[in-house]
Structure 1
């Protein structure tokens, strides 16, 4: 098989949760050898959930779905960096590696004596990524950051909500993924720079700044005009219609976006009904000034139609429209199946076969092998310490006896999962699909569609 684009690159990842492991995931998918570093004292907290079939097995720290999604194609070791022996072994791995990527507050690696100045002495051309909540300088540098607190300070939470209500946290922690994708391309830039110059690099990435940069439109309002935007619900100050509209069926909706008079004309033709042909709605100024009337009229129309019918009708007419999907609908969408976005990996029991998403991009002429499973805790200790670093079996056993390495975490970090039926009754779940395995194509059932073949998180 032709070598993958990043074959020969070795990355050490003492990273946890999502923002850093997800950043490294596409690099591992395209050939980089990634050594994920955890410790028995502090395993990756994403190992704990969600548990397969909502049941806690004998080794639940190896079964968590979030962990498996972000850590495929990686090797995994345990190494206690609180010990001098652990620090020495970490430096030894650095000496034969290309990149170190971590997402703890700056003080953590400094206190270990493993920050960039030290690692540069170990290997002058090493690339070190510090993906921290607020960056490695400034008064907030050692603040802990989770997605919810970061989205608050970026301005995203302030802007999310309805005009007459308070701020709302988003349904997902959006900032985690922004930080991750910025980290991915920062590493690739640093590798390209090193290939040209032979020089290593320190990447100081602030997840806070990544979030701010992606709210550019809102900040330009202030920086150009002194205007502080307010919460707008589903509306837009310059466009109408611009919102979500109820369709026939339970909790069924579509999003419709019209950004020009030409697109409005397309909608009028696609709808083909007299209510849409009002002369005073032909211009954006007229539609925005009568936004509520426009939304009410469209809502009456969409309420009589199935959401996919509305989407296909308007898209065929040149209008941006999308059916709102819950997670079941996303996972079973035939469009994903046609593109092969989800593929099924065969996990050991009790996880079993489960779909996982592909990298967010494909490369022409690059034939990727099937994804490797995320490593069990300490699974590759022997490969790294005995084979890569050349330790004898006696030395390896001493590392175990001294608790420098381990294959079972001291803190499993798993709590009993809540009862889905109870959560459904309390209104915390939209639905509980007992037939989900059949829908995903991971059970013996037939006739159902398959989807296709405390760190700074």
Structure 2
């Protein structure tokens, strides 16, 4: 019943999305919680999206002056359209299930309206540099004067205290200063960083975690909280073991895909272009299982490989033998063979592989969503959430156009009259279009200029249809 219901609503366009949202809110754990989020880029939007998923009314308070997160793409056919600010794929994922209020809080009228909204809200979040909210008169103390039990969270690069508090950063620079990049790289090679923005993801999850704790605290005590979340602190917490080792005189080396004491523990090339498999062995029993999977080759009977220390000492020799074996094999078939023998192994999957992955398909992980505010985008497959609650459906139901909910928020929450709203519009305090509408540079343009950038596939529509067809069939969207 749940999936038939979902299909009818998704096919129903904008009205269907509103109907599904009402059903979600009735069942959601955060129903009745209102969040005002002055958010941009990734880390804070990622965190507040989880609150929206579970029923909180999350209102993105956006500025018509700054479209950084809306301009990041990817765009249909690799080109931004006439209303590119409503089309970006990355933005759609971070902004899912949120409402949009395009309000200039730097103007006195905008600030006045914002404070009226604060009086009827539970949480206010921002990820501006320290001092910005205070200069605007919207810091925690100012908001408490309006709503005594308000919860505020400020997510910054280095926190609101300390000598680096005024420094700016992006996830990639935080990777570096927190020690993660120093530990990442091939053995005896230079430091590297992973391509994914780990600090945005870990920071965002901590945003959601901290806000849930603050809500629980307020429920018990009746008092709000001021939360100071630092991406730097989040990053340092990810390398806790290395910090402990440093206090014992141990400098953890870069190991690439290797391990400090286990072997084999690496990534090996397979048949085909850029196809790989990760194989890890942690115990003598697992080593015996790997030998059986390989077919008990003569080289594996070498007594030097019988113990964990011995295998680690001779890991390069073992790697060379395994590489010779894996080179002629299909990565995914080999993964299943090794897993059948009790060996922890995983094919190195691409994003395209993931869209077609039968395991994710059976778990109904991916979501289909058609954004009525971006007709050029059409129906797309989006990543789901990393966890589930029993009997509580999660769905991507809304990606708001810029300022789409201006009228309803100002009328129903701020309780402004039509004349007051018109005054805001005429004064440029609210908007539904950015002040600068020039199309942003995109990946294909960078490629044409022979600059580094993502590779663009001109036939992506046909390819994504091939990959997503199994998901559509499994979830009842194959029509």
Q: Map of 1:39-438 to 2, 5 A cutoff? A: 39-223=63-247, 225-274=248-297, 275-348=299-372, 349-368=375-394, 370-412=395-437, 414-419=439-444, 422=447, 432-438=456-462
Equivalents in 2 of 1:298, 1:147: separation in Å?
A: 36
SS at match of 1:45: coil
- For residues 151-199 of structure 1, the C-alpha deviation after alignment (integer angstroms, 9 at most, x for no partner) is 1101111111122321112111111101000111100011011111111
Identify the residue that residue 19 of structure 1 maps to in structure 2. Answer: 43
Decide whether aligned partners of structure 1 residues 273 and 304 sit closer, same or farther in structure 2, where only a CA change above 3 A counts: farther
**Cα offset, 1:434, TM superposition:** 4.3
SS at match of 1:128: strand
Decide whether aligned partners of structure 1 residues 44 and 393 sit closer, same or farther in structure 2, where only a CA change above 3 A counts: farther
- Taking structure 1 as the reference length, the TM-score comes to 0.93
The answer to which of 225-234 and 73-82 deviates more is 225-234
Shift >6 Å, 4+ stretches: 423-427
Gaps of 5+ in 1: none
**Cα offset, 1:119, TM superposition:** 0.8
Gaps of 5+ in 2: 1-22
Decide whether aligned partners of structure 1 residues 199 and 367 sit closer, same or farther in structure 2, where only a CA change above 3 A counts: same
Identify the residue that residue 8 of structure 2 maps to in structure 1. Answer: none
Say how many residue pairs are matched.
447
Decide whether aligned partners of structure 1 residues 44 and 390 sit closer, same or farther in structure 2, where only a CA change above 3 A counts: farther
Contact 1:153 1:208 in 2 (8 A): yes
SS at match of 1:351: coil
**Cα offset, 1:327, TM superposition:** 1.6
Identify the residue that residue 28 of structure 1 maps to in structure 2. Answer: 52
**Cα offset, 1:317, TM superposition:** 1.1
- For residues 196-219 of structure 1, the C-alpha deviation after alignment (integer angstroms, 9 at most, x for no partner) is 111101111111010110112222
Equivalents in 1 of 2:371, 2:169: separation in Å?
A: 32
Q: RMSD between aligned alpha carbons?
A: 2.1
**Cα offset, 1:27, TM superposition:** 0.9
Structure with larger RCO (C-alpha < 8 A, sep 6+):
1
SS at match of 2:471: coil
Equivalents in 2 of 1:331, 1:424: separation in Å?
A: 30
- Taking structure 2 as the reference length, the TM-score comes to 0.89
**Cα offset, 1:277, TM superposition:** 2.7
SS at match of 1:57: coil
Contact 1:15 1:102 in 2 (8 A): yes
Equivalents in 1 of 2:451, 2:167: separation in Å?
A: 35
Decide whether aligned partners of structure 1 residues 43 and 56 sit closer, same or farther in structure 2, where only a CA change above 3 A counts: closer
**Cα offset, 1:426, TM superposition:** 7.9
Contact 2:31 2:55 in 1 (8 A): yes
**Cα offset, 1:435, TM superposition:** 4.4
Equivalents in 1 of 2:118, 2:415: separation in Å?
A: 15
- For residues 266-325 of structure 1, the C-alpha deviation after alignment (integer angstroms, 9 at most, x for no partner) is 211222232323222111111111111010011111112110121111111111111001
SS at match of 1:106: coil
